[in-house]
Structure 1
Amino acid sequence: MLQRTLAKSISVTGVGLHSGERVRLTLHPAAENSGILFRRTDLEGEQGQIIVLSPYLINDTRLSSTVVTDQGVRVGTIEHIMSALAAYGIDNILIELNAPEIPIMDGSSLPFVYLLQDAGIVDQAAEKRFLRIKAPVEVREPDKWVRFEPYEGFKITLTIAFDHPVFNRSKQTFTIDFAGQSYIDEIARARTFGFMQEVELMRSHNLGLGGNLNNAIVIDDTDVLNPDGLRYADEFVRHKILDAIGDLYIAGHPIIGAFTGHKSGHAVNNALLRKILADESTHEWVSFPRNKGLPAAFHGLPKAA
């Protein structure tokens, strides 16, 4: 299977969920083997240089996955666009923005899916590299855990746990196996969510400044406040899967394995990636020339132009 990039550049304008700042986002094609790149166009000199994404740059995980470089450059809330890039198997891309945060759009990854579709996707000459899990790896905290296990495909099972009337009315566990299920149909439309009672606390920490009913599900003491309700009956756990897919793609490559989590979040997802990469016995790097031996989960990637 070959590496992929965009056929052309494309731009969009939106608002940062946490910063509340207006953001112009532009996606550019990038050369093979260059990886996922970011650049802050509002910064100059060393701070305005290209950032090559890696799990070791995720240094702020308060309510999102945020790149923080040694020079103090921030690129926040990258998980939703990363989730869309994973769904389309984009290996090489330059993401430019003129603010500290990726725009939230409607709170899901669907607007980024549309951007990728509009830009078009092309194959490149180099072979795509996959990270294959060879041995179980787990990160466990007092009230949450995440695990990767060997599996010839890509499957995710997540459980959330909220003692609240809204959550008690829906399933809090969801499994998706990409060998037979569609990211676009099952995951892409699921929006981020938050509790009304947390808004003031978040804003006192300069978080959630751009949040509203158009880009998040907002929950009060008993119900969802959004007039149109939920997009899926179990939208909350599906969004956590959307986040996890984006967090895991920060590795820069598709992962062959089964991911399971209980109350997973950005920090513990990143810790799992770092633990895998730190131990060569847990993984191997593989390619599939002419798709020979390619797991079925990756046959369904949307076709390149």
Structure 2
Amino acid sequence: MQTTIKSPAAFEGIGLHSGKPARMVIHPASAEHGIWFKRTDIRLGDALVPARWDAVHQTPLCTKVENSRGVSVSTIEHVMAALAGCGVHNALIEIDGPEVPILDGSAAAFVRGILARGVLRLVAPVRAIEILQPVEVRRGDAWARLDASDRLSIDFSIEFADAAIGTQQKRLDMSNGSFVRELSDSRTFCRRADVDDMRANGLAQGGTLENAVVVEGDRVLSPGGLRHADEAVRHKMLDALGDLALAGAPILGGYTGHRAGHALTNDLLRKLFVTPAAFRMVVCDAVTTARLPGVGVHAGEIPAVA
């Protein structure tokens, strides 16, 4: 069955790129509602923004959705990953500004908030997107692909010159709560050399060593070091799940990404939906539902973070 959150969950913090304070509340929603954002600071006009692949306004360092009136919400990937990873299909997310709070740079706080309120089953079946044949997109030496599979898996590889990151690869079956246990606490990361460039371009205004992993050569500059030796690739997988959640329904397929980012994953969804032979919509039975992200997770599985 489709689900929603049982009661509202509120979050407050600053935007990673804008540096502006933000308050966000995830509210329950009815079956077939999907995930929508509502800008509570917009008094006139359309304040509703769909969390959907065709509303994405591509930016290099985050995922931003925008409605037909130009009202937008950015850096949505972590909360979208938390909703997908907890198995929440329907929610109205009220936010008082243009950017989701970054919190600690991971999805852990969103996951805690969602699971603390609980997930409510609704009287409507889950429909999923079943991948039937490969779909692939490339940008330079980066690529992403979806392949046929009976469940969602994510296989990701990255390559960075900084020895603190280097070459990393990880694959996970995303069913049975693996997102919550394995990925949800992994933080966004960047190279120290990139920080000044981002700020000069109006980005990372709210970034600190407490809400991002910053590396320089073989050193991790953030206090406490890494939460996982391969935290960087785990975070890229977290981002990929959040971006795939914009498909509008759970995906039954294998996602593979090599040096892929937000824009490339959105390119992949756009190519998927203009390739009718590559997918079909299916109503999930009990066996299929058990293979979806978030099924069976509980608060005790959330990793403890400092």
Q: TM-score range by the shorter chain?
A: over 0.9
In the other structure, the counterpart of 1:288 is 284
Please, what TM-score do these two structures have when normalized by structure 1? 0.94
Give 1:184 shift: 1.5
| Mapped pair 1:75 → 2:73 | yes
- 1:178-208 Cα offsets, whole Å, 9 max, x none, are 3467212211111000112211211122110
Structure 1 contact 153–295 (Cα < 8 Å) conserved: no
In structure 2, what is the Cα distance between the partners aligned to 1:35 and 1:176? 25
In the other structure, the counterpart of 1:3 is 2
SS in 1 for 2:57: strand
| Mapped pair 1:200 → 2:196 | yes
In the other structure, the counterpart of 2:128 is 130
> In the alignment, residue 233 of structure 1 is paired with which amino acid?
A
In structure 2, what is the Cα distance between the partners aligned to 1:22 and 1:47? 22
In the other structure, the counterpart of 2:214 is 218
Residues 299 and 235 of structure 1, relative CA distance in 2, 3 Å threshold: closer
In the other structure, the counterpart of 1:63 is 61
| Mapped pair 1:46 → 2:40 | no
SS in 2 for 1:172: strand
Give 1:44 shift: 1.5
Give 1:106 shift: 0.4
In the other structure, the counterpart of 1:29 is 28
In the other structure, the counterpart of 1:297 is 291
Give 1:227 shift: 2.1
Aligned sequence identity (%): 39
In the other structure, the counterpart of 1:279 is 275
SS in 2 for 1:232: coil
In the other structure, the counterpart of 1:97 is 95
Give 1:298 shift: 2.4
SS in 2 for 1:272: helix
Give 1:296 shift: 4.7
RMSD between aligned residues: 1.7
In structure 2, what is the Cα distance between the partners aligned to 1:87 and 1:7? 16
> In the alignment, residue 29 of structure 1 is paired with which amino acid?
P
Structure 1 contact 107–216 (Cα < 8 Å) conserved: yes
In the other structure, the counterpart of 1:88 is 86
SS in 2 for 1:302: coil
In structure 2, what is the Cα distance between the partners aligned to 1:207 and 1:302? 38
In the other structure, the counterpart of 2:151 is 153
Please, what TM-score do these two structures have when normalized by structure 2? 0.93
| Mapped pair 1:184 → 2:180 | yes
Give 1:52 shift: 2.4
Give 1:302 shift: 3.1
> In the alignment, residue 100 of structure 1 is paired with which amino acid?
P
In structure 1, what is the Cα distance between the partners aligned to 2:147 and 2:13? 37
Q: How many residues align?
A: 299
In the other structure, the counterpart of 2:303 is none
| Mapped pair 1:249 → 2:245 | yes
In structure 1, what is the Cα distance between the partners aligned to 2:50 and 2:241? 19
